[in-house]
C-alpha cells in the first residue's frame, strides 16, 4: 500500500520560475513530513521538513506547505536554478517511526 504518493513522475521548469512539487498521503497518523533531494549515484539528502502542527515552513528558496484536511503537501522552489535538477522525494512519518516515501518526481530546470 502506497501511503505516500507523488503522482507526477517528472516536472520541467524554466530557470528563474517557480517549481511546485506535490505529494499526497493517506495515513492521518503521520505527524512529520519531509522532502529529500537525490542526485544520480548518491543517497537522498534532506531538504526541508514540516511538523503537522504547522502549515508552512520556509528555508531560503524552499517552502513546504501542508494541508492536513486534504492530506496534501507541496514543495515550492523559487527561483528555480539548474542545480536544483534532481529527483525529489516526499516522506512522512509518525513518531519518527516507519518513514514512508513517495515514488519521487524528477525536476528538470532548464537554463
Which of 15, 32, 79, 108 is close enough to bind another protein by CB under 8 A? 32
Residue from 63, 66, 77, 100 touching another protein (CB under 8 A): that is 100
**Does residue 34 interact with another protein by CB under 8 A?**
yes
Contact mark string toward another protein, 41..60, x via CB under 8 A: xxxxxx--x-x---------
Specify the stretch interacting with another protein by CB under 8 A; choose among 12-20, 28-36, 60-68, 74-82: 28-36
Which string of DSSP letters, residue by residue, matches 27-90?
-TT--EEEEEEE-TTS--EEEEEEETT-SEEEETTEEEEEETTTTEEEEEESS--GGG-EEEEE
Q: Is residue 10 a contact residue for another protein (CB under 8 A)?
A: no
Amino acid at each position: 500500500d502506497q501511503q505516500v504518493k507523488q503522482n507526477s513522475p517528472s516536472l520541467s521548469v524554466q530557470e528563474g520560475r517557480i517549481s511546485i512539487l506535490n505529494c499526497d498521503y493517506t495515513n492521518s497518523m503521520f505527524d512529520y513530513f519531509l522532502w529529500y533531494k537525490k542526485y544520480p549515484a548518491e543517497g537522498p539528502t534532506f531538504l526541508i521538513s514540516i511538523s503537522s502542527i504547522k502549515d508552512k515552513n520556509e528555508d531560503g528558496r524552499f517552502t513546504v506547505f501542508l494541508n492536513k484536511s486534504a492530506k496534501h503537501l507541496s514543495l515550492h522552489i523559487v527561483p528555480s536554478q539548474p542545480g536544483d535538477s534532481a529527483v525529489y522525494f516526499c516522506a512522512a512519518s509518525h513518531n519518527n517511526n516507519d518513514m514512508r516515501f513517495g515514488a519521487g518526481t524528477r525536476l528538470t530546470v532548464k537554463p
